[in-house]
A and B are shown apart, each in its own frame.
Chain A
Amino acid sequence: MGNPMTEQTQTSNATPSEQDNTGKKSDIIRVEGMHKWYGDFHVLKDLNLTVAQGERIVICGPSGSGKSTFIRCINRLEEHQQGKIIVDDVELTDDVRQIDTVRREVGMVFQHFNLFPHLTVLENCCLSPIWVRKIPRKEAEATAMEYLERVKIPDQALKYPGQLSGGQQQRVAIARALCMKPKIMLFDEPTSALDPEMIKEVLDVMIELAGSGMTMLCVTHEMGFAKTVADRVIFMDGGEIVEEAPPHEFFTNPREARTQKFLQQILAH
Chain B
Amino acid sequence: MARKLLKAYVSKNQLMFGEKTMRKTKSIALGIALAVGTFTASGAMAATTLENVKEKGHLQCGVTTGLPGFSQPDEKGNWTGIDVDTCRAVAAAIFGDASAVEFTPLTAKERFTALQSGEIDMLSRNTTWTLTRDASLGLNFAGVNYYDGQGFLINKDIGVDDALQLDGASICIQAGTTTELNLSDYFRAKGMEFKPIVFDTSEQTVQGFSAGRCDVLTSDRSQLAALRSKLSDPSAAKILPNTISKEPLGPVVRQGDDQWFNIVKWVLSVQINAEELGVTSANADDMLKSDNPNIQRLLGTDGDMGAKLGLPDDFGHKVVKLVGNYGEMYDRNVGPDTPLGLDRGINALWTDGGIMYAPPVR
Touch test A–B (CB under 8 Å): no
